[in-house]
Structure 1
Amino acid sequence: MPEITALTTEILLPALEQAIDATVIIGQDNEIIFYNQAAASLWGIPREEVIGRNVDCLVPVRLRHEHDRYIDRNRETGHNRIVGTSREVEFTRADGEYICGELSLSKVEIGQGAKRQIYYMGVMKNVTDESQRRKILILQNDVLQALASDMLIQDIGELICRKVEAFVPNAVAAMLVLDRSRRRLSIAASPGMPNRYRTALDSMELSAEQVETLRTAPDSSNKVVWDGYSSLARSLGLERCCSSAIISRTGQVMGIFALYLRGDDTDLAWPQRVVSTSMPFCALAIEQNETRQHIAQLSNFDSLTGLLNRTSLHNVIERLIMRGGDSQFSLFMVDIDRFRDINDALGHVNADRFLIEIGRRIRGLVNDEYIVSRSGGDEFIIIVPDCSHARAEQFAEKLINAIARPLQVGENTLTISCCVGISTFPENGPDSESLLSLADAAARQAKGDGRGLYRFAGHEKNQVAQERLMLGSALRDSLSKGMLNLHYQPQVETMTGGLYGVEALSRWHHPTLGNIYPSRFIAVAEETGQIEAIGRWSLQEACSQMVRWDRDGVHVPTVAVNLSAVHFRNRSLPEYIANLLGQHGLTPDRLTVEITESVMMDSSSETEEVLHAIRRLDVGLSMDDFGTGYSSLSRLTRLPLTEIKIDRSFINDFEHDTNAQAVTMAVIGIGSRLGMTVVTEGVETEQQWRLLEELHCDVMQGYLFARPLPPAELEKWFRERQARGSFVIPSA
């Protein structure tokens, strides 16, 4: 036992004293009872100033108020997240130097029962250099990942600032970007900066001499972001500043990165190192942003005049439309007269100068809220918000007069004129395509009427064409957004009372134009080349709906879909239908394709081949609106039809018109002899029903039984009549 005592006093205490890591032992009352030389060097406080004092004198100021409670809790319960672990601790040494240490805290128990005493021993290893290197690597990795993820410069700047503020206690970081064309500094990020100071720094204009000084001496940036603002900064608790100009790889000043410190006793070595380390990251972020802006300039602006290009104009118009509310604006399309002659006579170089000058004249007329675009060639477009008719007339006259001024190009003085077409939202269309098309039509009309004129869209001479353009554009947009839908009109078996099938009918409700009749939009679809897309969509939607009805226990034997003549000139149609049926798991007899008499009149072998190929699939083929065209009976016998539909025009006065009855009877007889099902459309009265029953018409369709219904309403109609045992029941 004496040997052990001698070992403790003679060896262990000197060993602790001479240990290379700071060692502190805490007594029963949280007082410091041992403090070695390494600890004095680490904290910068002599031994005599800490022995006997509460250990919180060594704890970072922000944690002192809780420290005794943590220790006492461990003494009483034995639970603590710190004791028995290692953790990094950051603090400021007595001389202001930033220190990062790795702290290991151990509990030492001596004695038992009433004599039990608890001491704590803390060992702190100085890992400042390693910690700083690791933090710099973390900053580098985080910034590079942010740059790779296409974050905005404001977000990257905020990331850098927040990381730096976490590295340097009691600091506020700011990244300022220089607009070199105007020599104006603006704050890209400063998440922790007081608002008053941010306002003072933002939009600061520099002289050419200041920019040059920053370029040659980047560390002189405090003269810009501190010297003139230090009084304001100190009133807000910011005592010192470390900053540097951000310099690009080509030696240009791109901005300033500044780190403001709240305490005046902090050593500046670490803050300055953080600032200098952040410089290349800030430069990368700003360079990437400038590259993006340059790419955006190329993709969104006309390279010749610097005005918006057509793609950007479309986007701007759509954003204006999407604002909703009472949004309204006028679109002016300016078309230069005889530009081709100017181009041929003066050459491309002078023609480009001519267009630049036209763009400059237009810009001279507009306010900041106006939008100006060159959409190609000699076509300029201006959008004026909240523009009344009278104001539009005045602006159009200003445009015409401004462009008509003599223009000097090289050695040539040109006298020029232009025409202006004007469209307005919402009167002239629901989308950008409609507005541009109608303005273009109005400009062509103005050019046709003379030179130096303007015309509004909607003039009687082009109203029909404009409406067609507007509807065609709106239809294309609605089709792409899935705004069309199908309604279904039941077809009932005359003799049995069963459900024969349904006819799918396209419906279109536009949010701005309202309900558009099929007779109107189908014609537009045919004229604008969209009818094939609508037909294929109708087939797809009808098959999908049949599957949904089957799933819900609503058995619809077949669905009829009307296709236009265009579809039957496409040899891939039979394959498309076969794939569609396969994808939906439908047998071919569940689908009937309706054709019009124009298809029947088409004598091309290609059309006939397509019709026969469809029939070979066992898909039904129906002749729609039979008797309204010029089809021949000989053609009727040669086509693989399974069904003919008597047009509603024969049924309008069916009860009283013996000729109509005779024709209907003849068609029913022809269909019966050819093995075709005869469907009569437009049945609206019980008397018509009874007459058709007497004539042994196979199937009836009309408002007497049901109007065209949305899918959910047809399901309700089906269940009601199924419960009553017959589908040949007049609607209430």
Structure 2
Amino acid sequence: MSASDGLLTETADVLLAALERADDGIVIVDSAHRITHFNAAAERIWKLARADVLGRDADLLTLKCLQADPVAEFRDEIGLVRRDGSRIRAAISVSSLASGGVTHHVVFARDVTAEAERRARIALLDAVSDQTNRAVLITDPGLNIRYTNAAFTALFGYTAAEAEGRRATDLLAGRHTKRSLLTTIGRRLIKGGPGGEAEVLIYTKDGEEIWVSARVDAFRDRKGRLRHIFALLDDITETRQLRSLQQLIMGALADEVPIGEIADRLCRRVEEIAPEIVCSLLHVDAAGLVHPLGGPSLPDDYSRALDGVAIGPDVGSCGTAAFYGEPVLAIDLDTDPRWQPYKAMPLAIGLRACWSTPVKAKDGRVIATFAFYYREPRAPSNWHRRIVEACVDLAAFAIERKEARAEIARLAYHDILTGLPNRAQLRHLITTAIDACPTGSHVALAFLDVDHFKDVNDTLGHAAGDELLIQLAQRLREQIGPEDMLGRLGGDEFVILLPQRNAERAERVAAGITEALAAPFRLGSRQLQMSASIGISLYPDHATDIDTLMQQADAAMYMAKQAGRSTHRLFSAEMNGLTEQRLALIAALRRAIAEGALSLSYQPQIRSCDGAVHGVEALARWHDAELGDVSPARFIPLAEDCGLIEQIGLWSVREACRQMASWRRAGLEIPCVSVNLSPINFRNVTLAARLKDILAEHDLPADALMLEITEGAFMQDSVAALETMNAIRKLGVGLSVDDFGTGYSSLSRLAHLPIRELKIDRSFMRDIEKDAGALAIATAVVRVGQGLGMTVVAEGVETEGQRRTLAELGCDVVQGFLYSPALPPVAFERWLIEYCAEQATAMLGRLDVAPAGRDAMKRSA
């Protein structure tokens, strides 16, 4: 063998040894498609022994790339099914070698199953990462970006390609980014410490500010060495930063922090999350003047210069925004025409631009302006606009709450109708006047009560009454001096505080008021003549404490009423006894109602045509263990004054219905019971429903009940009262007008109201037989009733002559002492039995006379 042959043989042996030691499986296939080489790595990949493979057909390897004819170059990663049925992922490369006219195919195979699985996991993790809404950022230890996800791109605008390789701080940090926070965390990671979280302002590709919460940690190798830094970034611009503004405002309001301090806190917080701006909040009052509320970063002299400036079309940014109700942007204060008269001060402190937004109340009023100042000419960023959107609503809420609390405070101390100080404020004013009263001087206190004011409400309605009180308050103001104070206690009661006035001077004021009230008041087309009763007490002559002083003025006012009204009285010691009597009577009446001490007596109503019982009227009576019998003329007006009349009216209906049911069960058939109600009862919209319940409770038909009302109740303009009357008549309960002819009735109104009965007042009965005027009125009432299809009842009939006159007029029913006074139930039962017996006897007598007369006529014939 030659040297060259030996060298070739040696080289071949070296190559075969190299192929045998290769990590990749190497298979050589000859031109006959037989396997001529199969190394150890190939045995492992295909799980085939070399002895079982060499010399066999290459199809044994299940490689489709070798089955083509001719076999082409091939390089790919394929799934390989091995002889034992297992599957692997293999990287296959096929090359062709030609030598001496013979072609061999060399197959290189590598098991990449583990690598493929790792790639699949990475792809899956990458897909998951791209699905999350949290931005993911991975860097090397030098903070050079190695990976970003889709959320990162969406949030900051950089694609993965644009971000990769860039230093993270260079890419995202800006003018107001606190780099020290991230640097501190990075150093800690490099030293092997834990990661951390930070809230930091960073910037997008377009330069927009975004507040993020960055959770930063490390990837380390098995030896603990830092390999990568990763960060999860959450956009907290709205969820935390803007919400912090809301929490700040709500917390301050809950703590009752003054509005100025709230505005300053809001501005400071805004300047923390938007460091490039200077914030200002101005209040706009009802007169259109601005007043600084918050602006801690503005110089005091600048804020003072703004105070009281009127809004207008060219008054800087804030004044113009408030005037038009629209945001106003001045990009350059130096050149903006709206700023020319005002630019010197802001330019002097380095402010070059201003963006102002109006703050509006729920009703559309501009109540403030919220402004951002900038230190360079510029427009607001999207982040700034989002801040303003949140702050405008928060500022509106805070200011409206302040206004509401101020209004509540005003309402707490002022009368809503007249705007005068109310009872609570009057006590403070009186205390202040007494404390300031010099030694030897006096403070006069005048109580004023409008005479017959209730008639106005009952006749013309509460709207007219309110208008009268407003006019009255204005007229009273005109009669007192600038140092005097006028207040309203409630209803038609007023108080006049007269500092440093003795009795004589106070009485002159009262006389002047009486004279001023003599002029008529105009309510729409009506003119009303009104007057007032005034009581005066003096400090310190009559009392040294407020409560006693007020009680004494009240007592003197009641004395003025008893003196005939439209006058005044100065308190005297004798008045105390009378006041105490009235208070004691009110207390006793309340006890009587609570303890069921009131009772009803019943007066019969008789039909004129046949003498039959038409019904009964139930009349309230009060017998007190100490006071004895108290007249209705005394306790009914008292009940109206102290607010008990509605309660008495409903009690009367219930008791009358109970008694009627009891009589009917006993066989006493009384057609109807009449009960007197106050106009106040008819203002209660639930009256008809309560009547229905009472009738049902006692199993009475609706026509068994008649309600008597005064003319004032149906003449008033109260819609509620008219609706209540219609509901009652729809129920079937009758309505009767009591004391008809003594009020201000309108016949046209009467014709359209659900009235079933008219009652002629007893005052016309006394002289009906001899007084032509009384007879004419009675005749007119009867004719009106007949024309409207109503039953007419005459009260106060005491003589047979009166009864006969009324019968001749056609009056349907009479009631009075001629038949019986009002009687307690048991006494009325006896009267009814006796009266019915008399009626039956009289009827039998008439029947007996009739046959005897016929016989006499026959005999004469």
Smaller-chain TM-score range? 0.3 to 0.5
Q: Which has the higher contact order (CA 8 A, sep 6+)?
A: 1
Instruction: Return the TM-score normalized by structure 2.
Output: 0.39
Larger of the two Rg values belongs to structure: 2
Instruction: Return the TM-score normalized by structure 1.
Output: 0.44
